[in-house]
Amino acid sequence: MAAIYDDRPCELGEGPLWHPERGQLFWFDILGRRMLTRTAEGAGTLHLPEMFSAAGWVDRDRLFAASETGFWLIGIGAGTVERIGTLEADDPGTRSNDGRADPQGGFWIGTMGKGAEPGRGAIYRYLKGEVRRLFPNISIPNAISFAPDGRQAQFADSAARKVWRVALDAAGWPAGEPELLIDLAGQPGVPDGAVCDAEGNLWLAEWGAGRVAAYAPDGRFLRAVAVAGRHASCPAFGGPDLRTLFVTSARENLTAAEIAAQPLNGCTFAAEAGATGLPEHRVLP
């Protein structure tokens, strides 16, 4: 069972990022419009101008982040937020969701309808100022993650309860059609955020099931880490040896009675998962 890392409840915790140069975890409360962090000195919060959901690191003092309308640079020490690009800014009915930096310096980000309308979202890639739509007609994009060799990406549509894998070319663009990797139809959990470990296993947060499950590169279930929050939302490897699995969770759509019965919903957790992660890749803005 994962232990509590941070007891500040998030309405929709997402996007945990272990900064490899700072040795520091950052994550978002999407609906709360804030970025959270914790260091030896204590907890920190940056209040944001709109809903932010995912980030990568640019250098020691800057994060690259995606929001409901665009791409931004966040000054970590200064607390500054500077827009550098747009993302479906002409559609007030959508927002960003899951995202992660790829090994080639790009950043993949999914969008979705604010009411999770079927097929309203998409997955995009940002690379050095260029934005391309990779996969349209996705309802709830999640599980964006990359194999250790950088030649394959994974992504999910939570509404379809499926995770796909797609080959990448040397520059990190999709090279072929996605193939089904994991199908959770009929299972208690819904695929949410994911990250690969150094062996290429996929660690998948399963919304509604209170766990992060590890799957082999061929999609076989290996084992799971239990999380006290019912809605585990996204994992990230961190710590000095990248062997700590951090997991965000959410309170979204839970009743007051459900939260009272399980007050740890929405907290952020940490566990020794028996696996070693990979350093998060740098974004080239």
Query: pLDDT value at position 3?
Result: 95
CATH number at residue 213: 2.120.10.30
**Residue 137: both structure tokens together:** 């007609």
Quick check: 117 pLDDT over 90? yes
Average pLDDT, the chain: 97
Task: Give the total number of structural domains in the chain.
Answer: 1
Q: Dump the DSSP string for the chain.
A: -PEEEE----SBEEEEEEETTTTEEEEEETTTTEEEEEETTEEEEEE-SS-EEEEEEEETTEEEEEESSEEEEEETTTTEEEEEEESSTT-TTEEEEEEEE-TTS-EEEEEEETT--TT-EEEEEEETTEEEEEEEEESSEEEEEE-TTSSEEEEEEGGGTEEEEEEB-TTS-B-S--EEEEE-TTSS-EEEEEEEBTTS-EEEEEETTTEEEEE-TTS-EEEEEE-SSSEEEEEEEESTTS-EEEEEEE-TT--HHHHHHSTTTT-EEEEE-S--B-PPPBP--
CB 76 within 8 A of CB 57: no
Residue 146 lies inside a defined structural domain of this protein = yes
**258 is in which domain, residue-wise?**
3-272
Cβ atoms within 10 Å of 261's Cβ, excluding its own: 10
Q: How far apart are CA 121 and CA 124, in angstroms?
A: 10
Quick check: 98 pLDDT over 90? yes
Residue 281 lies inside a defined structural domain of this protein = no
Q: How confident is the model at residue 229 (pLDDT cuts 50, 70, 90)?
A: confident
Dihedral, CA of residue 167, residue 130, residue 203 and residue 184, to nearest 10: -70
| 230-280 tens-digit pLDDT | 999 999 999 999 999 999 999 999 999 999 999 999 999 999 999 999 999
Query: pLDDT value at position 40?
Result: 85
Quick check: 202 pLDDT over 90? yes
Residue 283 lies inside a defined structural domain of this protein = no
> Taking residues 187-202, what's their average pLDDT?
97
Known catalytic residues are 192
Quick check: 1 pLDDT over 90? no
Residue 277 lies inside a defined structural domain of this protein = no
Residue 128 lies inside a defined structural domain of this protein = yes
Cβ atoms within 10 Å of 179's Cβ, excluding its own: 11
Residue 279 lies inside a defined structural domain of this protein = no
Name, in order, each residue with C-beta under 8 angstroms of 284's C-beta and a sequence gap of 6 or more. 105, 106, 127, 128
| 142-184 tens-digit pLDDT | 999 999 999 999 999 999 999 999 999 999 999 999 999 999 9
**Residue 221: both structure tokens together:** 């279930």
Query: pLDDT value at position 232?
Result: 98
Taking CA atoms, 239 is separated from 22, 136, 151, 253, in Å, by 11, 35, 26, 31
Residue 285 lies inside a defined structural domain of this protein = no
Q: How far apart are CA 116 and CA 127, in angstroms?
A: 27
Residue 156 lies inside a defined structural domain of this protein = yes
User: Could you give the angle at the alpha carbon of 112 between the alpha carbons of 155 and 212, nearest 5°?
Assistant: 45
